[in-house]
Amino acid sequence: MDYSIALQLFFSGLNLGSIYTALGLGFFVVYSVTRVLNLAQGEFVMLGGMLVVTFYTKGIPLVPSILLAVVITSLAGAGIYRFIIFPARKFPGMTKVFLTLGCAFIIQGIALHFWGWEFRSLAAFFDTPSIQICGATIFGQTPWVIGATLIMVAGLFVFFGHTIQGKALRACANEPLGARTVGISIERMALFSFALAAGIGAVVGALITPLTMTSYSMGLPLTAKGLLAAFVGGITRVEGVILGGLVYGMIESITAGLIPWGNHNVIALAILVGGLLIRRRGILLTAGKG
Amino acid sequence: MSFSVQDIIERTRKISPVDARYLAVGIFTILIMIIPLGAGAFPNTVMIEIGFYSIVTMGLIMFMGFAGQISLGHAALFGCGAYISGILTTQHYLSPWLALFLAACFTGGIAAAVGRVMFRMHGLILAGITLALNLLFFYLVSGLSDLTGGAIGMTNIPPLSLGQYTSQNILFNYYLLWVIAILLLIFSLNLADSRFGRALRSINTYDGGSEEAAQVLGINIMKYKVWVFILSAVYASIAGSLYAHYTRIIEPNTFMIQFSALVVLMAIIGGRSSPWGAFLGAGLIVSIRQLLREFAPMLIVGPTGSYELIAYGIIMVVVLLFLPQGLFPIIKKAILKRRPGFS
């Protein structure tokens, strides 16, 4: 294979991998605190993308648009926890999953009401031009995607590993009774995790809108892909999510480059699902039984 | 001898649960059979839609309600039936009836193969895997354009026919669909009350069962999970084939995750503990959708479809928070007070 094609595939894989990692992070944040699979995560991504497009086209500069979208989506996430998941906190895990599915329906409906059926798109952030490196073309948005994902990953890494607040969050899922005994409010932590996950989702939405168009119905497919990436790596640890996302991105990019048949999505998904079925606790063997 | 409602209820209390089951099915059958006599073509098409959803939901209820497993990918099984039926009849010129049968067998086979590896995993991870499999199915049928027509889909699928009647005839299709639905209902009801059904309930960790306890009692949980998944897949496939031969056009978008989520919604609202819940859930959701399509545009401005989605979400949340068992147990209790064992 040509060197430049390999480089091209590598960058495209890195780009996709960053997106899947960032998608998976939202599931990780909620799951590692509350042990809930949040099926509305993809809808947060969609909501974030839509809001950024709306603010940006209204003339608000890009950075404030993104910040506004993140704040609004975080509030939506917190609201969903407070009014829908919190009353069901004693229910079995499956009920909570179905509740988040209900939330996904509601968010989709609201998005359809305000933004209609049309697809929305944005130019690359700050109109960054495409870059040429050794014959490989990198779309202007790619550095932003990779950079933002790196920042989020680093932030979560430090937060969950090295701050009291982050350790308190993890304690909620690992040992709820113990956490309560030492004075951690599990409900407050769960609320925070939903808001954080929604905020991460909104950032992802802003990042991917210039790459793929955003429409009201794109949430559930994104949920499926992000969840798969998170499970493949190991949903209970940041490293697992990064690994899963990167593996997924690379496989999708390589299959897209090598298979002339064109439908690389099928092969990539099949490899991932197959891999997950064989190595059921994720690459890092960290996923629990639950 | 009087025939007051109270009297009938009194009599129902005295008969055995099995008789009561068939009595209920009988009343339901008569109701279904007389609906088209009094209605125009429009409610019949709505009832046909309810029928399709009911069959898929019944399959899901066996999987989700009896066995306590989670599936967000039933649209793929439904689509499997539809596409195999379509391919066999348009490209290999088989009889639609044979195609329906072969599609059900093939989908069951796929379910067996997938289930055998999938059920090594427990609980919520199945949600992720079934979602991914549904997406995989969507990409697969969109990509194999030689076989499935790609994103455009398949057209000119021949209708099912019996003598001079074909399933293009709304009334014939109505009876065909509902006869099959009622036969499947009887099968599900009997299954729930068999050794197989009780074994499923024992492994239902969602409603208080325990896989460990079941294993200790000598229940091969893998076997039961795979078999209930196969049955569930066959139900979905039959509905899919009937759908393909009825609409005669299928396209990949129909079989996207949205459909799976809708079927889960119906199972939850109707009540996942009994196959009756499928009819209740499907009937309610389709009726609500139809009403909203009729009346919502008069009241509020906006794209149609958005109220449906919001209504689904709100109904799902409210039912899960306040009636976690769905609507059927309440209705059952209202009809038959103090009569356990009637499913």
CATH for A185:
1.10.3470
Which single residue is written with the structure tokens 């479809």? B305
User: What pLDDT score was predicted for residue B124?
Assistant: 81
CA distance B107 to B125: 22
Which chain B residues in 54-83 lie under 8 Å from chain A, judged by CB atoms?
68, 70, 72
∠ CA A165-A167-A170, nearest 5°, is 115
CA distance A228 to B129: 7
What residues are paired with B165 via a beta bridge?
B162
Length of chain A: 290
**Chain A interface test: which of B121, B125, B126 (most A C-beta within 10 Å):** B125
The encoded tokens of residue A161 equal: 């590993």
User: What pLDDT score was predicted for residue B120?
Assistant: 83
User: What pLDDT score was predicted for residue A290?
Assistant: 36
Is A290 a domain residue? no
Burial A77-93 (b: 16+ CB within 10 A, else e): bbebbeebbeebeeebb
Nearest in space to B78 (alpha carbons), one of B313, B239, B283: B239
ipTM: 0.89
Does B132 contact A287 at a Cβ distance shorter than 8 Å?
no
Q: Is the pLDDT of residue A40 over 90?
A: yes
Mean pLDDT of chain A: 86
Is A258 a domain residue? yes
Residue of B nearest to A114 (CA): B302
- SS3 of residue A146 by DSSP: helix
Does B122 contact A289 at a Cβ distance shorter than 8 Å?
yes
CA distance A6 to A77: 40
The encoded tokens of residue A256 equal: 């897209």
Is A201 a domain residue? yes
Q: Is B309 on the interface with A (CB under 8 A)?
A: yes
pLDDT band at A75 (very low <50, low <70, confident <90, very high): very high
- SS3 of residue B154 by DSSP: strand
Compute the Cα dihedral for B295, B298, B300, B304 and give only its sign. Answer: positive
Q: Is the pLDDT of residue A226 over 80?
A: yes
Owning domain of residue A72: 3-126+139-278
Is A152 a domain residue? yes
Is A284 a domain residue? no
Domain count, chain A: 1
Amino acid at A109: G
**Tens place of pLDDT for every residue, chain B, 343 residues?**
556 777 766 666 667 777 778 888 999 999 888 888 876 666 888 899 999 999 999 999 999 989 989 999 999 999 999 999 999 999 988 899 999 999 999 999 999 999 998 888 877 888 889 999 999 999 899 888 888 888 888 888 888 888 788 877 888 889 999 999 999 999 999 999 899 999 998 988 888 788 888 888 888 989 999 999 999 999 999 999 999 999 989 999 889 999 999 999 999 999 888 999 999 999 999 999 988 888 877 777 666 778 889 999 999 999 999 988 889 988 888 877 655 544 4
